Amino acid sequence: MGGGDREAKPPSTIGKQEDMTDLERFKNIFYGLDIAYGQTKRTDEFDERGKHKTRSFIIKKEPIDKLWQDHLNGVDPALGIIPINQESKCKWACIDIDTYPVNHKQLINKIKEKNLPLTVFRSKSGGAHCFLFTDTFVPAILLRGKLKEMAAVLGYAKSEIFPKQNVLHVDRGDRGSFLNLPYHNAQRTVRYAFNEEGTAISLIEFFALYNKVKLTEETLKQLVIKKNTAPPLLEGAPPCLISLATEGIPEGSRNNAMVNYAVYLKKRFPETWDTEIFTYNKEFCKPPLPKAELDKVIESIRKTDYNYTCKDAPIESFCDAKKCVLQKYGVGDGVPGPEILEIKKYQSDPPIYYVLVGEDSVEVDSTTLHEPDKFSIACMDQIDLPMMPVSKVIWRKILQKLFKNLGVIEAPDSTKVDIQIRELLADYINKAPAKNMEDILRGLAYTEDGTSYFKFKDFWKYLIRTKTWPDKIYPKQKTARLLARLFSAKEIAGKIDGKSARYMEMKTIKLDKPNTKEDQMKEAPFA
């Protein structure tokens, strides 16, 4: 394979495919965001499914060729790429099927049956990554829309889709989420692609397959995902119920399935639904639900105006909300509200949070995130979609769950409170230095033998006048404590020019240039 330690080049600068090295071909296929990449390391801890827990980072540097080559050579850790670039476009997207066990051959046959342009890969943990490839960068919203439809018809509507958002707000510091690439240790890899027959293929064989399955942007736009045809019994029904009727109701799900068929029937046949349901039970449940069990379903629906249980098995796996609202007997006003999928913390002072709501990102501060009503207003302002009312107790539980997988983005030093106050102090002390101690009474700072003296109230006036300090977050007393903690500043009660005065004493600060970190990382969500 080709190699080298040169800087990574965008795909547009690489020559014709027949002239590429294996490295360049691989990079051309899986290129994404060019200002950051991901890595994940396995820990010795296990989760409840028996999988090794991992610790993941996004490194805010361009992925150079050496990283790609190391990945193919099997050097740990594997390389993770963020598919969405700074223009919110992608060359690939992926359905991450993380349910076990996965029968890859059956999945491939199902994909072929539905004529979907997906390539199935085995993930490291034995799951499936279903990739959709394009030959050029296309809008992420287009790729995500097609993949969501495909996931629904395959019965994996709840699986994560990468990229996770339609728009990447790089200007806010967001870097998206990464996916570990296939063919780590390409010669003896466990992360390989399957061909159409369900056989594992080598990297070189994958390159040939890629040339067959990649789509142009125009072809992608025109791609129609074939849905299951509704039988007469399910005229105007939600797509999930049609899929269940076609694919079969999973074992152990008959009660929940019949609850949703009963909701449908109550909408379609409000006078006779409780007798019609026996036909549906016989037709779609194999074997049919016993009469005693079905009677319980009927009684529960008769007592309450149920909506479809869109977030529960078995229909959640086939959910296609956008199609459902268009059906005559679809969710209608009972459509589930937008769901919070992920929270990332940008570690500035004060911190900023990026909250992934459905397919859109909302930027909020701590107070707004903490209060459900304030957060709903932020959603309404930023993505034109207010949240449904929720109690504070439920809201806190939601936050607690999401914070267990909180993505942490390292912010530039200039946003950190200790760096900010250091630079502001340096400006105040050095820009207009006093000539003697008496000048302190005029609001200046005097420095002698490496020690600076100034009145805190004058420094505070400077902060307020220049509007450079978050005084609502760090009011006067809290700022004074910062000076004591960060710079060992202490207040002196003495006399200046014969007058009683209280002033600060601390080691002087001189900055030639702001401090910066070259290697900035964040801990991030990873699939």
> What confidence tier does 52 reach under pLDDT thresholds 50, 70, 90?
low
The average pLDDT across 393-401 equals 90
**Calpha distance 444→431 (Å, rounded):** 10
User: Comparing C-alpha atoms, which of 404, 401, 403 is closest to residue 351?
Assistant: 403
The average pLDDT across 244-257 equals 84
Enumerate the β-bridge partners of residue 193.
121, 201
Higher pLDDT, 47 or 397: 397
What integer pLDDT is reported at residue 437 of this predicted model? Answer: 93
What integer pLDDT is reported at residue 48 of this predicted model? Answer: 66
**Calpha distance 452→429 (Å, rounded):** 7
At 272-298, the pLDDT tens digits run 999 999 999 998 888 889 999 999 999
Residues 151 and 157 sit within 8 Å (Cβ to Cβ): yes
For domain 11-222, say whether CATH 1.20.1300 is its number: no
The percent helix, strand, coil of the chain (3-state, each to 5) is 40, 20, 40
Q: What is the percent of the chain where pLDDT is above 90?
A: 47
The average pLDDT across 75-92 equals 96
Report the 10 Å Cβ neighbour count for 323. Answer: 16
Q: Which structure tokens are listed for 189?
A: 């890899």
Which of the residue ranges 1-15, 328-342, 389-403, 505-519 has the most confident prediction, judged by mean pLDDT? 389-403
Q: Which amino acid is at 15?
A: G
Residues in the chain, how many?
A: 527
Which of the residue ranges 315-319, 404-408, 439-443, 511-515 has the most confident prediction, judged by mean pLDDT? 439-443
Domains in the chain: boundaries: 11-222, 232-334, 340-409, 414-507
At 115-143, the pLDDT tens digits run 999 999 999 889 999 999 999 999 999 99
Q: Sign of the CA dihedral 162, 168, 172, 178?
A: positive
Q: Which ranges in 223-341 belong to alpha helices (H)?
A: 239-247, 254-268, 273-284, 291-303, 321-324
**Calpha distance 41→524 (Å, rounded):** 12
At 457-471, the pLDDT tens digits run 999 999 998 887 888
For 334, 353, 369, the CA distances from 383, given in Å and listed in that order, are: 21, 15, 15
Residue 330, pLDDT above cutoff 80: yes
As a whole number, the mean pLDDT across the chain is 85
Q: H or E stretch including 342?
A: strand 340-346
> What confidence tier does 414 reach under pLDDT thresholds 50, 70, 90?
low
At 128-181, the pLDDT tens digits run 999 999 999 999 999 999 999 999 899 898 899 999 989 888 876 778 889 999
What integer pLDDT is reported at residue 90 of this predicted model? Answer: 97
Enumerate the β-bridge partners of residue 503.
492
> What confidence tier does 412 reach under pLDDT thresholds 50, 70, 90?
low
**Calpha distance 328→250 (Å, rounded):** 26
- DSSP labels, 362-378: EEE-HHHHH-HHHHHHH
Q: Verify cis geometry, omega within 30 degrees of 0, for the bond prior to 163.
A: yes
Question: What's this model's pTM, rounded to 2 decimal places?
Answer: 0.66
